[in-house]
Structure 1
């Protein structure tokens, strides 16, 4: 029986779908990303500001996807509680926290001065 060639894009999109459907935080990060993009369009960000916003969004999604993969893998190999499984999950979650904090910092540096100039009395 001849094996059909694998479609890596199909696997990748299936992974995105699985993360979106199973992880509440993916939806929260997606909403935050959409809000950031909408604000960026409204505030007419510069090319470099878009670069920082885009990198921040990508970093958060990358860390969230890796966290989701790590959780699934740990659950598979350690279905019962184990301190090392807990450590792996907590560390992966910490990576998401660091990425989200970085994104908030970048967003604050870019958006706060723009809002200040618009709404200052």
Structure 2
């Protein structure tokens, strides 16, 4: 579809958002790790609310992990399309994308621990 030339078009935005949501639904329906990360994010955000801890750093860390997982899913699909047979470069691309998710997840765990652990320990009476 060609652009209508306007910088802002609600119709174009809604159409694009629909495509994006289809990608999220596909990942949730086909990628076990994405489902796990979605539920972990929901749990972490719920803890923020319960503990009255700062929401922004945890929400940003969750969004980063979920975004990286979506990019990993997209890259895997493109690599599979371009190289249906096993190829060393295809493996490198897939492994590097998975590594990005791993590093993002490790960072998110550190953010979660630094933001949530002190108020959790205080609430439990051990901090």
* TM beyond 0.5: yes
1:53 equivalent among 51, 58, 81: 58
What RMSD, in angstroms, separates the aligned Cα atoms of the two structures? 1.6
Q: Mark the runs of 5 or more structure 2 residues left unpaired by the alignment.
A: 5-11
How far, CA to CA, are the matches of 1:118 and 1:11 in structure 2? 43
Tell me the CA shift for residue 13 of structure 1.
1.1
The aligned residue for residue 113 of structure 2 is 108
The reply on whether 1:23 has 2:31 as its aligned counterpart is yes
1:90 equivalent among 95, 103, 124: 95
How far, CA to CA, are the matches of 1:33 and 1:72 in structure 2? 24
Structure 2 counterpart SS, 1:79: coil
The aligned residue for residue 63 of structure 1 is 68
Q: TM-score, normalised by structure 2?
A: 0.85
Q: String of CA shifts for 1:24-77, please: whole Å, max 9, x gaps.
A: 0110001101101111111012xxx21101110110011000000000000000
Q: String of CA shifts for 1:2-38, please: whole Å, max 9, x gaps.
A: x9x8721221111111111110011000110110111
Number of residues of Structure 1 aligned to a counterpart in Structure 2: 115
Q: Mark the runs of 5 or more structure 1 residues left unpaired by the alignment.
A: none
Q: String of CA shifts for 1:94-115, please: whole Å, max 9, x gaps.
A: 0000110010000000111112
How far, CA to CA, are the matches of 1:115 and 1:17 in structure 2? 33
The aligned residue for residue 9 of structure 2 is none
Q: TM-score, normalised by structure 1?
A: 0.89
How far, CA to CA, are the matches of 1:94 and 1:85 in structure 2? 14
